[in-house]
A and B are shown apart, each in its own frame.
Chain A
Amino acid sequence: MIQFLSHIISGLSLGSIYAIIALGYSMVYGIAKMLNFAHGDVIMIGAYVSFSATQYFGMHPIASVVISVIMCTILGIAIEGFAYKPLRKATSLAVLITAIGMSYLLQNLALLIWGANPKSFTSVVGLGTLSLFGGEMHITSETIVTVLANIIIMIALTTFINKTKMGKAMRAVSEDKGAAELMGINVNLTISMTFAIGSALAAIAGVLLCSSYPSLMPTTGSMPGIKAFTAAVFGGIGSIPGALIGGLLLGLIEILGKAYVSDQLGDALVFAVLIIVLLVRPAGLLGKKVHEKV
């Protein structure tokens, strides 16, 4: 029973990381209608920046997280401005391939700068472990911080989207780009802003991911990226609560599947559940069903 509980907790922790990454995917998809495959690699860059700041420049871990968030925000805006903005009117497949090219570019840049050998990431939290039930169950401080960070980010983002002017502009652009432009909304600025927020979240997710799973490589971001993306689809792409629920469920399924079914088949299980959900609810758990007009 206690073992089951600790699996649930580590599932929630992994799920929180997926949820934070999924938010970036979901927001960008909702507003720019594109699959940003380079998002997973922004996570990796964020983790590397934080790693370098602490290892090579001897900075305080918290300061390194701030630097990493700033760098990733700039990177996100730069990627959008350089690679995606010229393709606003192109087909979605062309944008997809450009995003894939961007993902290769970031991976290989990281490979050149930091090398192929896995770096051992020192946790930015490092507050020790919480023992419960007379030492039978351990919860690391990373787990607690990850779950807390996820809750704070969700609340902050929901408030931002619903209460601020920029948030309103984002919702308007995701609803109808043309109409939003006619109402005087700066669509390009709104899209850049979305990328900035998504990339800042990716940096946080990267640091949290590598604090829990300390091996850092140029390909670290790709698998969590794909899984977070399925989490976004799972919950209904474009919806913030959907990303939260999708991410948490995916994390739980993965950890429980690896623990109780088979270690090697955990990923297959995640994707099988995704397929079943999409077949029953083709727009995801919380997605809106779009009726086709004839």
Chain B
Amino acid sequence: MKRKISKTFINNLITYAIVIIAFFICKLALSGDIEGFKMSRSLKGQLIPICVYIVMAVSLNLTVGISGELSLGHAGFMSIGAYAGIVASQWLGSAFPEANIDVVRLIAALISGGIAAGVAGFLIGIPVLRLRGDYLAIVTLAFGEIIRNLINCLYVSVEGGTLHTGFLLTSPLPGKKIIAGPMNTSGIDKLASFDAAFVVVLIALFVVLNLINSRSGRAIMASRDNRIAAESMGVNVTKYKMMAFVTSAALAGIAGAMYGLNTSIEPKKFGFDTSILILVFVVLGGIGSIRGSVIAATLLTVLPEVLREFGSYRMLVYAIVLILVMLARNSVFVKQILSIVTGCIKLIFKRSRRGEAS
């Protein structure tokens, strides 16, 4: 007797397969082995940001879709991860200047970014998860802005393996500046690579998909669907909501660390707009659908690049596309047309199968 393979398992496999195939197609395009199949320069620069945004979208989907809490401050965790990662990698670099340990530095940056954001997520989660609905959304927004404001006043420099930190400074710190308040980070070693970013995407997918299909994941979803029923069944709602929130924050921190080691960043980058951008990925991809988040994050990061030929109309077109997609997804008229079309396709498939059978 054949063991029945569960539907979710197949679904997850499809998600992994899409990501892995996309990675190899990108690799092929990067190598330029095939004539006429080459990646444009601007698209090449987008590869690591795409991976970062995929991780961000997947992690936010864990909070918004699986745990059911609207979070508007996800970019805050990203910035904590980014700055923690920068500090860790630069400190290691200056403490061991001789050793060639780029990979170790990258991994250390990712881990410390994840841990820092996870701890922040835990601390923020204590008050935030006491609230519900729109109020919870506002408080996450407020925390996102507070984090951005605090980092705006943070100064860190490194000198021969020792770190100097300062807050709200007027006089400059000794040594090499790493984080300079509201200014762009400069002189950071670009340790991020597309391969590493791809591995991070796989890890994020693995963590989130396995969490969803575990006992804890079911508890998280039960508390989302009906808090009272879940509580009366003995589910510790606060604990599981916190688990989802902290995991999501830690993954965002890892993504942020990767981002900070790729381009020069400034605190302004991680404001409300970025949080909203990631929320747009999640909602357009389908709330609760991890594969949807991956696809939406990829398409919407590439879209502004593709729209570059529109010149200054680029973001206008982006906004119009966004509104039209939302209208199309939710309007009754479009839904009816879609159901007719899918009905026709199903009918054709059935006919052809019947034809094969007979």
Given contacts A112-B316, A274-B142, contact A264 B153 (CB under 8 A): yes
| Minimal Cβ-Cβ distance residue in A for B65 | A93
Chain A contacts to B: CB under 8 angstroms: 35, 37, 83, 86-87, 89-91, 93-94, 96-98, 100-102, 104-105, 107-109, 111-112, 222, 226, 229-230, 233, 237, 262, 264-265, 267-268, 271-272, 274-275, 278-279, 282-283, 294
The answer to whether B142 touches A230 (Cβ under 8 A) is yes
Within the complex, what minimum Cβ distance (angstroms) separates B131 from chain A? Answer: 6
B149: A residues at CB distance < 8 A: 264-265, 267-268, 271
The answer to whether A104 touches B322 (Cβ under 8 A) is yes
A233–B140 alpha-carbon span in the complex (Å): 13
A101–B313 alpha-carbon span in the complex (Å): 15
Within the complex, what minimum Cβ distance (angstroms) separates A75 from chain B? Answer: 15
A294–B279 alpha-carbon span in the complex (Å): 31
- Within B132-162, the residues touching A (CB, 8 Å) are 132, 134-135, 138-139, 141-143, 145-146, 149-150, 152-153
A-B contacts besides A37-B276, A107-B315, A268-B149, 7 pairs, CB < 8 Å: A35-B134, A86-B330, A104-B319, A230-B142, A264-B152, A267-B149, A279-B130
Asked if B350 is at the interface (CB within 8 A of a chain A CB), the reply is: no
Asked if B19 is at the interface (CB within 8 A of a chain A CB), the reply is: no
Among A101, A230, A283, A294, the residue within 8 A (CB) of B326 is A101
Among B132, B323, B331, the residue within 8 A (CB) of A102 is B323
The answer to whether A98 touches B327 (Cβ under 8 A) is yes
Among B134, B141, B168, B329, the residue within 8 A (CB) of A94 is B329
A178–B327 alpha-carbon span in the complex (Å): 23
Among A104, A229, A278, the residue within 8 A (CB) of B315 is A104
Within the complex, what minimum Cβ distance (angstroms) separates A29 from chain B? Answer: 8
| Minimal Cβ-Cβ distance residue in A for B181 | A264
B8: A residues at CB distance < 8 A: none
A275: B residues at CB distance < 8 A: 127, 139, 142-143
Among A86, A226, A268, A278, the residue within 8 A (CB) of B327 is A86
Within the complex, what minimum Cβ distance (angstroms) separates A249 from chain B? Answer: 15
The answer to whether B145 touches A101 (Cβ under 8 A) is no
B206: A residues at CB distance < 8 A: none
A105–B320 alpha-carbon span in the complex (Å): 7
B284: A residues at CB distance < 8 A: 97
A274–B141 alpha-carbon span in the complex (Å): 11
Within the complex, what minimum Cβ distance (angstroms) separates B278 from chain A? Answer: 12
8 contacts between A and B (CB under 8 A): A87-B327, A97-B279, A100-B276, A101-B320, A108-B319, A265-B153, A271-B142, A271-B143
| Minimal Cβ-Cβ distance residue in B for A233 | B138
Binary interface encoding of chain B residues 269-296 relative to chain A, with 1 for a CB under 8 A from any of its CBs, else 0 = 0001000100110011001000000000
Binary interface encoding of chain B residues 207-218 relative to chain A, with 1 for a CB under 8 A from any of its CBs, else 0 = 000000000000
| Minimal Cβ-Cβ distance residue in A for B316 | A108
Among A222, A226, A282, the residue within 8 A (CB) of B131 is A282
A271: B residues at CB distance < 8 A: 142-143, 145-146, 149
Q: How many residues from B make CB contacts under 8 Å with A?
A: 43
B64: A residues at CB distance < 8 A: 93
The answer to whether A97 touches B326 (Cβ under 8 A) is yes
Among B132, B138, B152, B323, the residue within 8 A (CB) of A101 is B323
A102–B323 alpha-carbon span in the complex (Å): 7
A233–B322 alpha-carbon span in the complex (Å): 27
B313: A residues at CB distance < 8 A: 112
Among A86, A96, A229, A233, the residue within 8 A (CB) of B135 is A233
Asked if B228 is at the interface (CB within 8 A of a chain A CB), the reply is: yes
Among A35, A97, A111, A268, the residue within 8 A (CB) of B145 is A268
Within the complex, what minimum Cβ distance (angstroms) separates B145 from chain A? Answer: 5
The answer to whether B168 touches A262 (Cβ under 8 A) is yes
A274: B residues at CB distance < 8 A: 138-139, 142
A275–B142 alpha-carbon span in the complex (Å): 7
Among A105, A262, A268, the residue within 8 A (CB) of B323 is A105
B331: A residues at CB distance < 8 A: 86-87
Binary interface encoding of chain B residues 40-62 relative to chain A, with 1 for a CB under 8 A from any of its CBs, else 0 = 00000000000000000000000
A91–B228 alpha-carbon span in the complex (Å): 22
A102: B residues at CB distance < 8 A: 319, 323
Asked if B6 is at the interface (CB within 8 A of a chain A CB), the reply is: no
Asked if B92 is at the interface (CB within 8 A of a chain A CB), the reply is: no
A101: B residues at CB distance < 8 A: 280, 319-320, 322-323, 326
Binary interface encoding of chain B residues 116-134 relative to chain A, with 1 for a CB under 8 A from any of its CBs, else 0 = 0000000000010011101
The answer to whether A264 touches B322 (Cβ under 8 A) is no
Within the complex, what minimum Cβ distance (angstroms) separates A226 from chain B? Answer: 6
B327: A residues at CB distance < 8 A: 83, 86-87, 98
Asked if B70 is at the interface (CB within 8 A of a chain A CB), the reply is: yes
The answer to whether A226 touches B318 (Cβ under 8 A) is no
Name which of A101, A229, A264, A272 has the most chain B CB atoms within 10 A of its CB: A101
The answer to whether A226 touches B141 (Cβ under 8 A) is yes
Binary interface encoding of chain B residues 326-341 relative to chain A, with 1 for a CB under 8 A from any of its CBs, else 0 = 1101111000000000
A268–B145 alpha-carbon span in the complex (Å): 7
B283: A residues at CB distance < 8 A: 93-94, 96-97
| Minimal Cβ-Cβ distance residue in B for A226 | B272
Within the complex, what minimum Cβ distance (angstroms) separates A281 from chain B? Answer: 10
Asked if B171 is at the interface (CB within 8 A of a chain A CB), the reply is: no
| Minimal Cβ-Cβ distance residue in B for A264 | B153
Given contacts A109-B316, A264-B152, A264-B153, contact A278 B329 (CB under 8 A): no
| Minimal Cβ-Cβ distance residue in A for B332 | A89
The answer to whether A100 touches B280 (Cβ under 8 A) is yes
Given contacts A105-B316, A108-B315, A279-B127, contact A98 B326 (CB under 8 A): yes
Within the complex, what minimum Cβ distance (angstroms) separates A261 from chain B? Answer: 10
Asked if B312 is at the interface (CB within 8 A of a chain A CB), the reply is: yes
A86–B327 alpha-carbon span in the complex (Å): 7
A265–B315 alpha-carbon span in the complex (Å): 31
A226–B137 alpha-carbon span in the complex (Å): 12
Name which of B132, B283, B320, B331 has the most chain A CB atoms within 10 A of its CB: B283
